[in-house]
């Protein structure tokens, strides 16, 4: 069996070559919006006054061409799968609702209760999902083939699509301008796959905007206060305006609690906020009265066609009952939610575990080949509350007993997004001992994926004197979108990709949290 990667990675460089590539990479990043806002001083200015380049890898990451193609192909099956899960209220109630996760996880319970209270009063049949399916390469031993295994599926605030497009362009630029000093035969033009993620994600939002039927309505970005990853969002906003003449509005949950309202026809209106500059407004359709909007009247109400959440995935985004009430108001509006509460719940780790049980996936995926291909990307998963016999009395559920026994090979996951929430390996036994019995149903155990050994990279962070060489682990994410509704079918597309790379031995993987850097794909045969 041929080794992976086919030759030592990254290629060896002299100090002068490494410095030259680092300078070329960082200046390209600063010139092409591959940026982050810096950590704010105690009294930040009201508008961004400076930026730093995002953390990045100097070389792209080798990924087998066949596995990359598989991940792209499977995204369309995953798009449809999670659209169908979001439409199955009975399934979500059983898994994430009362008697399930909602009983023992306060955040999930609050989302589910909000959805339960409003779902019979919703007037918009369509939902939009901007998804990302994350994978690691799996090779437990050097004599086994490299496989593709899914880490998780993201249904809310799937980020870094735009910056990943920029870092892929950066790597192509470094190859075009330096040939990477001829350091590796693997670096050649046909091995840098195109990345058009901004176009792909914007196409999904534009499709939802078109379905809403009001050309002058905006796309509402719900964002976190003090967002540092703003350029990833801005590039998507610019694409919507330049390619589709769709204007956007940015507001936080706190701002919307005082600005958002519903019209008599359930149009979502919001006043003020930050919006893209006006271009000539097309005529407003006759099915609704015109909504005034002028740069000279910033508090005039603005109609939202799509609500795109880049916040709302963590409990800290909700400051109390008013925030959940706002989420319910948004859900009851005519604006298309991205995601709806149902679709956000569908992305829960417990749903991922339940789908892996025998026969459950086939409830939603009717093509046997697709179902088999999806299952091949999964590792073993089970709930900590799983029992050998549902009617038997056990001092500790079999799922928890198994997690103790196999702790060195496992990660435990709760129903959270955003990183920093999992429990790994040696920390598992003591965590299980402290975990209240009733909370076990909110956690799943997942077998650890074993990435190929011996892959390295040069990691570049703002302010560091030189790229840092390290053994690394890289995660491939594939984006997709789906516009769907009961009786409406599912319109969906694969929408691009990203790579995030971190030092080997680092369990968490967030770029914003400082664990990972942005990377791109180098196809190898």
| Active centre residues (catalytic) | 132, 152, 154, 159, 349, 413, 417-418, 500
Cα 521 from Cα 135, distance rounded (Å): 13
Backbone torsions φ then ψ of 316, nearest 5 degrees:
-70, -15
Sign of the C-alpha dihedral computed for residues 235, 314, 263 and 89 taken in this order: positive
**SS3 for 224?**
coil
CB neighbour burial string for 189-212, b if at least 16 within 10 angstroms, e if fewer: eebbbebebbebbbbbbbbbbebb
Q: Output the DSSP codes for 399-442.
A: HHHHHHHTGGGEEEE-S--SSS--EEGGGHHHHHHHS-GGGGGG
- The secondary structure element, H or E, covering residue 81 is helix 65-87
Phi-psi region of 465 (alpha: psi -120 to 50; beta: other; left: phi over 0): alpha
Give me the torsion for CA of 296, 241, 493, 153, rounded to 10°: -60
Radius of gyration of the chain (CA): 23
Q: Which of these, 33, 70, 71, 68, lies nearest to 190 by C-alpha position?
A: 68
Cα 59 from Cα 465, distance rounded (Å): 17
Cα 459 from Cα 19, distance rounded (Å): 13
SS (H, E, C) 446-461: EECCCCCCCEEEEEEC
DSSP-derived letter for residue 505 is: T
96: its two tokens = 């994430």
**SS3 for 248?**
strand
Cα→Cα distances 480→24, 242, 496, Å: 32, 21, 7
Cα 262 from Cα 307, distance rounded (Å): 14
Q: Which residues pair with 294 in a beta bridge?
A: 297
Q: Which residues pair with 275 in a beta bridge?
A: 249
């Amino acid at each position: 069996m041929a080794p992976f990667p086919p030759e030592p990675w990254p290629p060896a460089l002299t100090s002068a070559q490494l410095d030259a590539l680092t300078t070329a990479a960082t200046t390209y990043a600063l010139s092409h919006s591959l940026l982050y806002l810096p950590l704010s001083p105690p009294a930040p200015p009201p508008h961004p006054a400076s930026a730093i380049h995002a953390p990045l890898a100097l070389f792209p990451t080798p990924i087998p061409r066949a596995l990359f193609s598989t991940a792209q192909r499977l995204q369309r099956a995953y798009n449809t799968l999670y659209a169908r899960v979001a439409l199955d209220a009975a399934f979500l109630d059983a898994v994430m609702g009362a008697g399930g996760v909602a009983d023992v996880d306060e955040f999930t319970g609050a989302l589910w209760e909000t959805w339960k209270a409003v779902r019979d009063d919703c007037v918009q049949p369509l939902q939009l999902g901007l998804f990302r399916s994350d994978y690691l390469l799996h090779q437990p031993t050097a004599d086994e083939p490299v496989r593709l295994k899914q880490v998780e599926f993201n249904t809310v605030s799937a980020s870094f699509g735009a910056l990943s497009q920029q870092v892929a362009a950066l790597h192509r630029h470094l190859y075009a301008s330096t040939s990477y000093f001829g350091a590796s035969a693997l670096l050649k033009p046909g091995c840098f796959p195109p990345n058009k993620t901004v176009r792909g994600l914007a196409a999904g939002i534009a499709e939802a905007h078109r379905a809403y039927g009001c050309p002058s309505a905006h796309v509402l970005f719900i964002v976190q206060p003090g967002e540092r990853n703003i350029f990833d969002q801005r590039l998507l906003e610019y694409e919507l305006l330049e390619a589709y003449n769709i204007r956007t509005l940015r507001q936080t949950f706190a701002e919307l609690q005082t600005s958002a309202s519903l019209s008599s026809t359930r149009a979502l209106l919001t006043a003020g906020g930050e919006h893209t500059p006006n271009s000539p407004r097309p005529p407003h359709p006759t099915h609704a009265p015109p909504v005034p909007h002028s740069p000279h009247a910033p508090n005039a109400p603005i109609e939202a066609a799509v609500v795109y959440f880049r916040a709302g995935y963590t409990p800290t985004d909700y400051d109390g009952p008013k925030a959940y009430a706002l989420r319910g108001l948004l859900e009851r509006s005519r604006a298309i939610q991205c995601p709806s509460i149902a679709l956000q719940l569908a992305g829960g780790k417990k749903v991922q575990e339940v789908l892996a049980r025998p026969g459950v996936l086939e409830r939603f995926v009717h093509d046997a080949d697709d179902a088999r291909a999806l299952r091949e990307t999964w590792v073993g998963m089970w709930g900590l509350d799983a029992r050998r016999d549902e009617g038997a009395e056990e001092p500790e559920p079999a799922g928890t007993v198994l997690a103790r026994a196999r702790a060195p090979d496992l990660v435990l996951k709760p129903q959270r997004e955003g990183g920093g929430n999992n429990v790994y390996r040696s920390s598992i036994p003591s965590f299980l001992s402290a975990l209240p019995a009733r909370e076990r149903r909110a956690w799943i155990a997942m077998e650890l994926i074993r990435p190929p050994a011996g892959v390295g990279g040069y990691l570049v962070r703002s302010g560091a004197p030189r790229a840092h060489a390290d053994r690394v682990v890289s995660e491939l994410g594939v984006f997709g979108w789906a516009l769907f509704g009961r009786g409406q079918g599912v319109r969906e597309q694969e929408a691009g990709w990203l790579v995030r790379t971190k030092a080997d031995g680092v369990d968490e993987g967030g770029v914003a949290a400082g664990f990972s850097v942005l990377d791109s794909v180098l196809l190898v045969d």
